[in-house]
Amino acid sequence: MDPGDRSAEETAIRETSEELGIERGLIKVIGALDILVTPFQEMIHPYVCTIAEHAILTPNPDEVEEVFYVPLHVLKQESFERHDVYLKVEPPEDFPFERIPRGKYYNWSKGTMPEYFVSYQGRTIWGLTARILHNFLEIAGGEIRDA
């Protein structure tokens, strides 16, 4: 969020407008998805939106490498591959180990983070984009259809 943004929804509209080079008025918010919290101190508030059919996309090359279309029915029938990424806590040497039980031998929790992949026409969607799409499809279930 920029300091001038009044809400996460306003941020999503501004970012979409800036990245795709379209007027904000051509973006209609349908609703919010689940907030995505990453292990890298990021909190992402994704939104489902429609863009007016007559909108002309002029992607910002500093932020967008490529724009392509994947029909919703393709995403619904394609299965997302899931590969877990393992996360491990590694405190730095100057960590105050003397203040915790078992010191340097403390049994830190380990975790995993799902990494999703889906391919379409030779392109692979992965990372945050795939996690957001996966969440969208889980929430929408069978209630989505191509426009």
pLDDT in tens, the chain (147 residues): 899 999 999 999 999 999 999 999 999 999 999 999 888 888 999 999 999 999 999 999 999 999 998 988 888 877 889 999 999 999 999 999 999 999 999 999 999 999 999 999 999 999 999 999 999 998 887 555 554
- Which pair of structure tokens corresponds to residue 7? 């809400």
Q: Are 144 and 114 found together in one domain?
A: yes
Q: Are residues 60 and 8 in the same domain?
A: yes
Distance separating alpha carbons of residues 98 and 53, to the nearest angstrom: 62
Among candidate residues 65, 81, 101, the one where a domain is terminated: 65
Rounded-to-integer distance, Cα 16 and Cα 145, Å: 22
Give SS3 for 32. strand
pTM of the model: 0.80
Pairwise CA distance, residues 70 & 57, whole Å: 16
- End position of a domain, from candidates 41, 65, 89: 65
Looking up tokens 């998805």 gives 33
SS3 108: coil
